[in-house]
């Protein structure tokens, strides 16, 4: 592989169940389909991105847990080059995860710069990929801060619920803390509203917006890029097969077009000569 720029993107939200992994895997599929070399970093102990790309986590020799240990003083691990696996999907590699990763923060008593661990893990391989997509677990602790430190771009999947919507402000507040404490600023926010449904006949007659449309309307008033992903059974079917939607079916679909649009947006932002600094707007 030739030299790459290795643009990193974190898929994060402090609330669970918003579609972070689903968004990450499917965006990876559409980035890879147009020839980009993509590394998906499964930084979630649940390992859903790993299985979502067709890798059985039970048979792994090394995982992100071992790469994490390699950065912990007093522990023996391996570099990420020994962790990364090829998938059956052309142009997509995976740095897989296992449940043991969940206990890794307990091993950091003597480790310096604890929020820079993931950044240090990825440095040796960054030049080999066009995009490094980080699937971040739903927490407000070490995994989140490590993921934010390792990137300047964040994709925030939310669902059509008030708690998920509020979590967006919480995430941006954490980013403000990162700016203050580490001088690291997130330069681009992309909001993905998942599992949306269209208006019903009754709501059209009454001119009332349903929850999906109400939240979308409010999000569009902000300065962040907003994408809407409809509910689709293709998500479930493709996950069963361990494939992104882009590689599960060649048929055009609304949800496929939505993920392709997100991938195109990230490409445009990443390829900009300069991404304007944007302080998180709370």
Within its chain, how far is the Cα of 42 from the centroid?
9
Identify the DSSP state of 275.
P
pLDDT given for residue 211 in this prediction: 66
Report how far residue 134's alpha carbon sits from residue 80's, in angstroms, rounded to the nearest whole number: 14
pLDDT in tens, the chain (282 residues): 445 667 999 999 988 889 999 999 999 999 999 999 999 999 999 999 999 999 998 889 999 999 999 998 888 899 999 999 999 999 999 999 999 999 988 888 778 888 899 999 999 999 999 999 999 999 878 899 899 999 989 999 988 877 766 788 888 887 777 766 777 778 889 999 987 655 444 445 555 666 667 777 777 776 789 999 998 999 999 999 999 999 998 888 999 999 999 999 999 988 874 444 443 333
CA-to-CA distance for 212 and 228, rounded, in angstroms?
9
> What's the rounded Cα separation, in Å, for the pair 93 and 278?
31
Query: In the chain, what is the straight-line distance between the N-terminal and C-terminal CA atoms, in Å?
Result: 41
**Alpha helix (H) ranges present in 72-195?**
117-122, 142-149, 162-182
The predicted pLDDT at position 214 comes to: 74
Residue 277 phi, psi dihedral angles, 5° rounding: -65, 135
Contact 227, 258 (CB under 8 A): yes
Q: CB within 8 A of 129, min separation 6: which ones? A: 4, 6, 37, 38, 39, 93
Cα gap 44→51, rounded to integer Å? 12
Q: Which CA distances in Å does 270 have to 40, 130, 244, 265?
A: 17, 10, 22, 9
For residue 136, which of 66, 70, 41, 68 has the smallest C-alpha distance? 41
**Residue 72: per-residue pLDDT:** 86
Q: What is the CA radius of gyration of the chain?
A: 18
**Partner residues linked to 131 by β-bridges:** 7, 38
- What is the value of pTM for the model shown? 0.88
């Amino acid at each position: 592989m030739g030299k790459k720029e290795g643009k990193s993107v974190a898929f994060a939200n402090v609330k669970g169940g918003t579609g972070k992994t689903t968004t990450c895997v499917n965006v990876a599929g559409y980035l890879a389909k147009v020839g980009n070399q993509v590394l998906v970093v499964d930084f979630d102990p649940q390992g859903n991105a790993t299985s979502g790309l067709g890798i059985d986590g039970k048979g792994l020799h090394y995982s992100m847990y071992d790469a994490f240990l390699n950065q912990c003083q007093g522990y023996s691990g391996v570099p990420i080059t020994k962790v990364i696996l090829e998938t059956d999907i052309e142009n997509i590699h995976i740095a897989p995860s296992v449940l043991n990763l969940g206990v890794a923060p307990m091993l950091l008593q003597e480790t310096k710069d604890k929020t820079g661990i993931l950044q240090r893990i990825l440095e040796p391989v960054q030049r080999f990929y066009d995009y490094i997509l980080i699937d971040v677990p739903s927490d407000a602790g070490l995994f989140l801060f490590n993921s934010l430190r390792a990137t300047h771009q964040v994709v925030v999947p939310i669902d059509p619920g008030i708690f998920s919507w509020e979590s967006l402000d919480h995430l941006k507040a954490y980013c403000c803390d990162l700016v203050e404490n580490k001088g690291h600023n997130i330069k681009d926010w992309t909001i993905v509203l998942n599992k949306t449904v269209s208006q019903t006949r009754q709501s059209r007659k009454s001119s009332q917006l349903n929850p999906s449309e109400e939240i979308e309307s409010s999000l569009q008033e902000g300065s962040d890029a907003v994408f809407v992903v409809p509910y689709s059974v293709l998500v479930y079917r493709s996950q069963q097969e361990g494939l992104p939607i882009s590689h599960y079916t060649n048929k055009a679909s609304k949800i496929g077009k939505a993920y392709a649009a997100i991938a195109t947006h990230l490409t445009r932002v990443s390829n900009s000569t300069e991404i304007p600094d944007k302080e998180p707007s709370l």
